[in-house]
Structures are given as structure tokens and as C-alpha cells.
Amino acid sequence: MFKILLSLLFIVLFCNASFAEDKALERIQKNQEINCGVYVLGSVFSYSPDGKPQGFTADLFNEVSLRTGLKIKYSEISSFATLFEDLKTGHFDMVCAPVLLIPATAMKGIPGTFISEDPINIYGDAKADYSDITSIDQLNNEKYTFVGMDGELGGLYVPKLFPKAKLNLLALGTPVSNMLMEVHTQKANFLIFSKLAFKAYNAQNPGKIKQVTHSSIQHSSIRLFFPEGSETLSANMDAIIEDMKRDGTLDKLLKKNGLSS
């Protein structure tokens, strides 16, 4: 009798899991449109002078549109502080501008398949002379000041790796431009940025910041993100991205936008 009850319980659980709602996918199927969450950052995603979406994300989802027949709508992410709550409540169907898989983003949604490596590095003002800095360990010094956001790269890594250094900690959701301004106005010496974010920024602001050391503090990756419960949407989008990898489209789009690793 116990075995029979256990088997019935397994069947009930399996059926419930199989028929769980994928609300984002249902919206996409109903509207025949993907509502993409995006952030504006240089060649990752931006708008042309006439207001048309451009950059890697726009190119990627033009390709997704061709392969699925779906329309694409772009909704700007209002704040990274509420990113996953907005994703959960349906402000957008998925995060289409690639996001780093780091402690701040892990376990808060469904990360998609690997898109590209994205090492995390230390950057400073391009006018400054860093020739005397030959190793990352030298930055763990009270004479240096970092700028970072609470819960993001600077807020995560500076206290752990550079506890002797000072940290100007900005609120989560502060525009990235504010961090860069702290460096340019010499309120901070360094910021922690991903390599692709640097490339995207540098494409539109050449010669403003530069990498301080040759070594990266961590090797990470960028991915699309999906709301909890959207395993079917995630699996379908992953299959499309994997096809783009195999036929060379993904690499071509990364190179076109200056984001290849």
C-alpha cells in the first residue's frame, strides 16, 4: 500500500510540474511579441539618432525575430535594484541585454545558455599613470579609493579583495555613468567593470578609462535571463542561441559590435 501511495504522489507531483504555468511564454504566444528588458550601454544596446534600437542586443533579437516570426519590443530596465522583481511581475518577458552571471544575479531567475566570456577587471582614468602598479595585490592599500554599487561588482569584490582600500559605495540602481564620473573627477581611483561593459562604453567614449592591471579578478560569463517558472521559454531561447553558435551568427554579431572576447 505504501508503494502504491508513493507512486501516486510521484505522478501527482510530476503532472503538476509538467503543467506549471510559463506566464512569460503565454504572453509571448498571445501577443506574438517578445517584450525585452534592456539597459542602455554603448554597443550592448542603445538608440540611433533617429530613435531606432541598435547594438548587439538589437542585432541578436532581429535574428531571433527572423527565426521565430515574433515581433520584438524593448522596455528599458528602470533599475538593477528591482530587475528580478520586475522580471517576476511581468514588466518584461525576459532580460534580453546580456547580464553577468555573478553572486548578484545568481539564484534570482533562470540564466540562459553561455553567450560569451566576460572577465571582471579593474579600470581607472585613462589620464592617470599606473606604471608603478604591477600586481592586483598592490591595490589593497589605504591610499586607494574604489567606487562601486551596493550588491554589484565593486560592492561585492572590493571588501573581499581590497579590505584596506576605501570604497565609495553608491546605492544599487545608480546609473553607471555616476560611477565613471567619480573616477573622472578623481573622487575615486578605480572601478570594477566587466571587459564587455568596458568595450561597450569605450566604443562611444574612447580613451576615457583604461585597464589598470593585466590580470582579471574573476572570469565570468554573460547570459540572457528568464523569470522563475519559465523553463520552457528558456529552453526554446537556448536552442535558438545554440543554433546561432553553430552557424557562426553569434560570433559575427559579437565581433560586429566590438564585444568578442
- Within-domain flag for 142: yes
Report which secondary-structure segment, H or E, holds 182.
Answer: helix 176-184
Question: Pick the residue with more confidence: 59 or 175?
Answer: 59
Q: Which residue has the higher pLDDT, 240 or 40?
A: 240
Question: Which residues on adjacent β-strands are paired with residue 62?
Answer: none
Asked if residue 4 belongs to a domain, the reply is no
Considering the domain boundaries, does residue 243 fall inside one?
Answer: yes
Q: Does residue 228 share a domain with residue 204?
A: no
Domain assignment present for 60: yes
Residues 171 and 136 in one domain: yes
What's the pLDDT band for 47 if we cut at 50, 70, 90? Answer: very high
Place 6 in a pLDDT band, splitting at 50, 70 and 90: very low
Q: Do residues 112 and 190 share a domain?
A: no
Establish if 2 belongs to a structural domain: no
Backbone φ, ψ for residue 207 (5° rounding):
75, 15
Average pLDDT value for residue range 88-115: 90
pLDDT digits (tens, 9 = 90+) for 249-259: 999 999 999 89
User: 180 Cβ partners below 8 Å, 6+ apart?
Assistant: 191, 201, 208, 209
Give the chain's mean pLDDT: 89
CATH number of the domain bearing residue 230: 3.40.190.10
Give the global pTM.
Answer: 0.81
Are residues 108 and 25 both part of a single domain?
yes
The predicted structure's pLDDT at residue 20: 59
pLDDT, one tens digit per residue, over 196-220 is 889 988 888 899 999 999 899 989 9
pLDDT of residue 4: 43
- Decide if pLDDT at 181 tops 80: yes
Co-location of 45 and 95 in the same domain: yes
Closest CA to 257 of 63, 42, 99, 101: 42
Judge if 146 and 189 occupy the same domain: yes
Are 199 and 255 in contact by the 8 Å Cβ rule? The answer is no
> DSSP letter at 114?
-
Domain match, 105 and 181 both: no
The reply to whether 181 and 234 lie within a common domain is no
Q: Return the C-alpha torsion angle 9, 12, 14, 15, nearest 10.
A: 170
Q: Looking at the 3D structure of the chain, how many domains does it have?
A: 2
Q: Which band of pLDDT confidence, cut at 50, 70 and 90, is reported for residue 16?
A: very low
DSSP H/E element including 27: helix 23-31
Please report the pLDDT score of residue 24 as a whole number. 96
pLDDT of 231 over the 50 cut = yes
On whether residue 49 sits in a domain, the answer given is yes
pLDDT at res. 261 = 66
- Asked if residue 68 belongs to a domain, the reply is yes
Structural domain includes residue 183: yes
Region 63-75 average pLDDT: 98
Query: Do 235 and 108 belong together in one domain?
Result: yes
Domain that holds residue 134: 120-211
Same domain, 161 and 94: no
pLDDT band for 3, please (50, 70, 90 cuts): very low
Whether 205 and 135 map to the same domain: the answer is yes
> What confidence tens digit (pLDDT) does each residue in 122-161 have?
999 999 999 999 999 999 999 999 999 988 899 989 999 9
The C-alpha cell 572590493 sits at 158
Of the two residues 192 and 6, the one the predictor is more confident about is 192
* 136 shares its domain with 166: yes
